[in-house]
């Protein structure tokens, strides 16, 4: 798909981050956008930003509250899109919504684990199932599923358990790669891509906490885990109060957003350029390219401390 003008795009998780920037750039290219998110306020801000430049006559930007891990809510989203965009077809589907958390089978609850997995994997699977009939009706279509570097490397460092997110992102990658053939055989006018971003400066750290717990404060479990993580990194937390730990978490979320090697604006451009070039595999950021090469070079070392340390030094990661 070389041109987005006049097309209709569905974006999940359009409230902030890469979803918001995808919406803004698509609208700037004359594409109609229907987005969903769990946050109505965040989507209202995305819509306002899309409309800062006067929209071309008739272009529609619609917002819909829906949780992508609940199939019935996605079906309601689809019905609303059909009604509010006056269409029986869509051309682009960005399964972008995602959260982190629930990484350990030991220190997280099963509920937390499944919340992350069901959003990051279930959201993509239900998204494709729900919108496929509308993509089939278009003359050309493209499905863009957001995985992560955690779709080929199941870690964010040696001191952090990361099982739910990694399992989901590997699933998104495997599903999308297999979908290439399924679409070629059964619906050749629809293409698909898997997006694997490295570290992108967004509010995913605080948003994930909000989706997991209802607010962005650390729970008692989170506090215990943060202490455990700092201990593993050689930091003595015995003299630190819970408020001190909260403040460190707030600072980590800020640093994740503001000190990242790439912005969400730049990431969205790479994703859209990848779609136009019909690339099924879209790595986002020098860190993602570097990590991809390193994991292929020495897969057996990928979960050793020295691998993480040398990769982090080479690609300039300051997260752990
Ligand atoms: N930021 C990074 O470094 C990074 C790296 C690799 C992959 N990713 C992936 O990129 C995607 C976008 O993340 P982002 O960094 O822009 O984060 P973000 O938190 O800024 O945006 C994600 C959006 O999804 C929404 N959301 C969360 N749960 C939802 C649910 N159940 N239903 C509907 N909406 C929901 C959030 O409210 C938020 O608006 C995610 O899939 C994430 O896993 C991000």
Q: Whose CA is nearest to atom 24 of ligand 1?
A: 13
**Residue 291 pLDDT level (bands cut at 50, 70, 90):** very high
Structure confidence at residue 319 (pLDDT)? 57
CB atoms within 10 A of CB 245: 19
Q: How far apart are CA 204 and CA 212, in angstroms?
A: 12
Q: How far apart are CA 94 and CA 192, in angstroms?
A: 10
Residue pair 92/271 in contact by the 8 Å Cβ criterion: no
**Residue 109 pLDDT level (bands cut at 50, 70, 90):** very high
User: Ligand 1 pocket test: which of 10, 11, 19 has the largest number of ligand atoms within 8 Å of its C-beta?
Assistant: 19
Alpha helices, DSSP H, located in the chain? 17-28, 40-50, 71-84, 110-117, 123-136, 163-186, 204-213, 220-232, 242-258, 264-276, 286-297, 305-315
Structure confidence at residue 205 (pLDDT)? 94
pTM: 0.96
Bigger pLDDT: 257 vs 53:
257
Bigger pLDDT: 290 vs 229:
290
Q: Is the pLDDT of residue 138 over 80?
A: yes
HSE-CB for 47 with a 13 A CA cutoff = 17
* DSSP code for 54: P
Query: Where do we find the tokens 């992102």?
Result: 169
Average pLDDT taken over every residue of the chain:
95
Residue pair 176/70 in contact by the 8 Å Cβ criterion: no
Structure confidence at residue 224 (pLDDT)? 86
279 SS3 class: coil
Rounded to an integer, the average pLDDT of 136-161 is 96
Residue 204, ligand 1, Cβ within 6 A: yes
Residue 165 CA: which ligand 1 atom is closest?
Answer: 43
Residue 18 CA: which ligand 1 atom is closest?
Answer: 16
Residue-wise pLDDT tens digits, 16-25:
999 999 999 9
- In sequence order, which residues have a C-beta less than 8 Å from that of residue 37 and are 6 or more positions away? 12, 13, 14, 15, 16, 19, 43, 63, 65, 66, 97
Residue 287, ligand 1, Cβ within 6 A: no
Residue 241 CA to ligand 1 center (angstroms) comes to 30
Structure confidence at residue 318 (pLDDT)? 67
User: Ligand 1 pocket test: which of 23, 45, 99 has the largest number of ligand atoms within 8 Å of its C-beta?
Assistant: 99
Longest dimension (CA), the chain: 63
Residue-wise pLDDT tens digits, 212-258:
988 878 888 888 888 888 888 788 999 999 999 999 989 999 999 99
Residue 237 CA to ligand 1 center (angstroms) comes to 30
Q: Is the pLDDT of residue 126 over 80?
A: yes
Rounded to an integer, the average pLDDT of 201-220 is 90
Bigger pLDDT: 54 vs 33:
33
Angle formed at CA 280 by CA 181 and CA 78, multiple of 5 degrees: 80
Rounded to an integer, the average pLDDT of 172-196 is 98
Q: Is the pLDDT of residue 53 over 80?
A: no
Q: How far apart are CA 81 and CA 267, in angstroms?
A: 26
Q: Is the pLDDT of residue 97 over 90?
A: yes
Residue 207, ligand 1, Cβ within 6 A: yes
Rounded to an integer, the average pLDDT of 33-53 is 96
Residue 254 CA to ligand 1 center (angstroms) comes to 16
Residue 98 CA to ligand 1 center (angstroms) comes to 4
- In sequence order, which residues have a C-beta less than 8 Å from that of residue 4 and are 6 or more positions away? 26, 29, 30, 31, 92, 272
Structure confidence at residue 228 (pLDDT)? 83
Residue whose C-alpha is closest to residue 35's, from 88, 87, 89, 74: 74
């Amino acid at each position: 798909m070389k041109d987005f003008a006049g097309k209709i795009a569905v974006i999940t998780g359009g409230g902030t981050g890469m979803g918001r920037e995808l919406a803004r750039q698509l609208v700037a290219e004359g594409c109609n956008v229907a987005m969903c998110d769990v946050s109505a306020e965040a989507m209202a801000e995305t819509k306002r930003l899309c409309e800062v430049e006067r929209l071309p006559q008739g272009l529609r930007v619609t917002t819909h509250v829906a949780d992508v891990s609940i199939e019935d809510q996605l079906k309601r989203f689809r019905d609303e899109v059909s009604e509010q965009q006056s269409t029986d077809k869509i051309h682009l589907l960005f399964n972008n919504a995602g959260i982190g958390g629930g990484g350990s089978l030991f220190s997280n609850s099963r509920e937390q684990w499944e919340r992350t997995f069901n959003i990051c994997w279930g959201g993509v699977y239900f998204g494709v199932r729900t919108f496929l009939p509308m993509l089939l009706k278009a003359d050309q279509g493209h499905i863009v599923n957001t995985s992560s570097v955690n779709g080929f490397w199941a870690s964010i460092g040696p001191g952090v358990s990361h099982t739910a997110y990694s399992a989901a992102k590997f699933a998104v990658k495997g599903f999308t790669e297999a979908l290439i053939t399924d679409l070629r055989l059964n619906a050749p006018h629809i293409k698909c891509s898997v997006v694997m971003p490295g570290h992108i400066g967004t509010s995913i750290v605080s948003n994930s906490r909000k989706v997991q717990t209802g607010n962005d404060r650390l729970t008692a479990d989170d506090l215990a885990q943060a202490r455990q993580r700092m201990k593993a990194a050689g930091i003595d937390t015995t003299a630190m109060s819970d408020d001190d730990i909260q403040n460190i978490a707030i600072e980590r979320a800020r640093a994740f957003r503001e000190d990242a090697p790439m912005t969400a604006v730049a990431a969205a451009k790479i994703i859209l350029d990848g779609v136009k070039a019909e690339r099924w595999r879209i790595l986002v950021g020098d860190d993602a390219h570097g990590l991809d090469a390193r994991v292929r070079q020495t897969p057996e070392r990928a979960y050793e401390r020295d691998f993480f340390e040398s990769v982090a030094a080479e690609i300039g990661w300051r997260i752990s």
